[in-house]
Amino acid sequence: MSIEIKNLSKKFNEVYAVKNIDFTIGANKTIGLLGPNGCGKTTSIGMMLGLIKPTTGDIIIQNKNINTFERNKLLSIMNFASPYVELPKKLSVKQNLQIYGRLYGVKDLSIRIDELAEDLNLKDFINKKTGELSSGQKNRVSLAKSLINKPEILLLDEPTASLDPDIGDYVRSYLQSYKSKNKVTILLASHNMAEVERLCDSVIMMKKGKIIDQGTSKEIINRHGRTNLEETFLKIVRSKDELA
Amino acid sequence: MSWHKIYALCLRHIYLISNSLPRIIDLIYWPTVQILLWGFISKFFTLNSEYYSNTVGIILTAAILYDFLFRVSISYNIMFLEEIWSRNFTNLFIAPIKLSEMIASLTITAVFRSLIGLIPAALLAIPLFGVSVFKIGLPLLALLFSLYIFGVTLGLLVTAGLLRFGPSFENIAWASLFFLAPLGCIYYPVEILPLSLQIIAKGLPLVHVFEEMRNILINGTVNYFEIFISILISVAYFIFGVIIFYMAYFGARVRGTLINMGE
C-alpha cells in the first residue's frame, strides 16, 4: 500500500509541531524518519494513525484520502509499535495477544499466535505476565502485537530503543526477514542510523517540524559530503541554516 | 457494533481480575466494610429512632444501593485508568474498535465488577443484621437499573475529563461521587434540604431512587411513576454523558493527547 503525505501540518497552541511536510512511501517500501527529539516524528506518526487531527494537509493511502476511509477498516490494515506504548502488565503475553488478535479480527488466532511466538522467540515466556519481562522481551511482544493482524502498513517508533546490541540486531534481522516474506509498507522512526541504513529504502530527515532532506541513505550522505548517515545526521542537526 | 470486539475488550478486564487474587479481595473488601459499618449504624438507629423503628434496615439498604452506584462509577473509571496506568492507551485507540464498542465494554464490565463486591456484601447483611435488600422485591431491579445507568454516566463524564485533561484529572475521578452525594438524599428525605437545593436535587435520579426505596420499605407501596422518572432522568444524563465523551475524544485528537498518554 502506498502512502502519500501532502502539505501536512500540525499546530499546537500557535506552535507548529509539523509544518507543511510532503513525502511518499511506495507500496511495500520501508522509509526511515530521522530527526532529533521534538522534530515532529511522533506527531507525524500520530496523524497517520488518526490519533492526532492534522491542522492542514492530507494523508492519502492507496490513492484514497484517509478521511474517506471508514476508521475501523483503515486501522485493521495498520499497526504500530513503540517502546513508549506498552501492553497491560498484569496480563500474560498470550492473553495480550489473544485480546489484540480478537480486536483486529484475526482469523485462526491460535495459529497466528503460535507463528509469532515461534518467529519472535516468545515461547519461553508466553504465559508470563508482560510486566515481569525484560525490556528486550517486552519489545518483542510489542512487535508481535504490531504484527498480529499482518498489517499492510506498519508504523514503528524507535523499535529498538533501549535494547542491547544483540537483541537490537535480532529485531532488525526479524524485520528484514518479515519484510521479504510479506507485503508491508513500513515507516520507521529511529535514532539509530545504522538501523535506518540497513532497513530503509529511503530516508526523510526532519528538523523543527520540517523535512530538510530526503532520498536514499547514499544520496543524503553524498549530498552532505559525509561518509555515513550518523555523521550526516549530526551535521544537519547541528547546522543553523538548514531551515533557512 | 461488533459483539466480538466488545467481548475482547471485556476479556481484558476479566483476565485482569481473574489473574489477581488481591484484586478480587479488593473488590469484595470495600463493600463488605461499608455494609458492616452502616449495618451497625443502622442497628443503633433502629433501636433509638422513632422514624426508623418500624422499618429495620432502611439505612443499610440505602448504603447497599449507594455502594452499587459508587462501585459502578468507580469501576468504570478504574477500567479506563488501567489503560493509562499500563500505557496501553495508544494501542487501544489505534485498534479497529469504535468508541461505542469501547463504551459498551466498559458499561458491561462495570456491572459485573460491581456485583462481584456487592452480592457477597448484600448476602452478608441478611444473617448479620437481619436486613435483606431483596425485601424491596421486583422494583429493586428497576432501582438498580436507574443507579447503574447513572453510575455509568458519571464514569463517562470522568473518562471524558481524562481524555480532555489527561491523567491529572484522576483525582476528580475519586471525588466525583462524593460531590453529588449530599444532593442525592441517600440517607435522609429530600425535605431536609433547603428549598433551593431540593429543586436541584430533584433533577438527579438519586433522589427519586432513594425516596422510592424509603417509600417501599416504610409504606409498603410502590410508586412506579417515581421509578420511571428516575430511569428517565438517568437515561437523559447517559445520553448527555455519551455526547460529552465523543466531544472529549474529538477534542483530544485536536490537542494530540491520545498519543503517549500514560503516567
ipTM score of complex: 0.86
**Same domain? A106 vs A226:** no
pLDDT in tens, B41-91: 877 877 777 766 655 588 888 989 999 998 898 888 888 888 888 888 889
Residue in chain B nearest A55 by alpha carbon = B254
The gap between the terminal CA atoms of chain A, to the nearest Å, is 34
Last residue of a domain, one of A95, A123, A150: A150
Residue in chain A nearest B250 by alpha carbon = A53
Measured between beta carbons, the chain A residues lying within 8 angstroms of B90 are 51, 80, 82, 85
**Same domain? A11 vs A122:** no
Q: Is the pLDDT of residue B34 over 60?
A: yes
Measured between beta carbons, the chain A residues lying within 8 angstroms of B98 are 71-72
pLDDT in tens, B153-182: 999 998 998 888 877 787 776 777 777 888
Rounded CA gap, B67 and B79, in Å? 18
Chain A: closest CA distance from residue B219 (Å): 49
Chain B: closest CA distance from residue A209 (Å): 15
Supply the pLDDT for residue B233.
96
**Same domain? A25 vs A118:** no
**Same domain? A145 vs A239:** no
Residues of B with CB under 8 A from a CB of A: 2, 4-5, 7-9, 11-12, 15-16, 19-20, 82-83, 86-91, 93-98, 250, 253-256, 258-260, 262
Of the pLDDT bands very low, low, confident and very high (cuts 50, 70, 90), residue A244 is: very low
Q: Check which CATH number belongs to the domain holding A168 and give it.
A: 3.40.50.300
Find the helix packing angle between B99-129 and B21-48, rounded to 10°. 50
Amino acid at B68: F
- Total length of chain A: 244
Chain B: closest CA distance from residue A82 (Å): 10
Of the pLDDT bands very low, low, confident and very high (cuts 50, 70, 90), residue A68 is: confident
**Same domain? A68 vs A91:** no
Residue in A43, A47, A76, A90 to test binding to B, most B beta-carbons within 10 Å:
A90
Last residue of a domain, one of A117, A150, A183: A150
**Same domain? A219 vs A137:** no
Range of the domain at A126: 85-150
**Same domain? A144 vs A174:** no
- B156 neighbors B244 (Cβ within 8 angstroms): yes
In chain A, how many domains are there? 2
Chain A: closest CA distance from residue B175 (Å): 26
Measured between beta carbons, the chain A residues lying within 8 angstroms of B82 are 88
Rounded CA gap, A3 and B43, in Å? 70
**Same domain? A143 vs A186:** no
Chain A: closest CA distance from residue B204 (Å): 35
Rounded CA gap, B158 and B175, in Å? 10
pLDDT in tens, B3-12: 999 999 999 9
User: For chain B, give me the number of helices (H) and strands (E)?
Assistant: 11, 0
**Same domain? A54 vs A92:** no
Which of B87, B256, B259 has its CB closest to that of A86? B87
- Total length of chain B: 263
Mean pLDDT of chain A: 89
Last residue of a domain, one of A110, A132, A150: A150
pLDDT in tens, A79-91: 999 888 889 999 9
Measured between beta carbons, the chain B residues lying within 8 angstroms of A92 are 15, 19
Domain limits of chain B? 3-255
Residue pairs between chains A and B whose CB atoms are closer than 8 Å:
111
B220: phi then psi, degrees, rounded to nearest 5 = 70, 15
Measured between beta carbons, the chain A residues lying within 8 angstroms of B91 are 80, 85-87, 100, 145
Inspect the interface and report whether the beta carbons of B12 and A99 lie closer than 8 Å. yes
Inspect the interface and report whether the beta carbons of A102 and B8 lie closer than 8 Å. yes
Supply the pLDDT for residue B51.
66
**Same domain? A93 vs A114:** yes
User: The cell 429512632 sits on which residue?
Assistant: B49
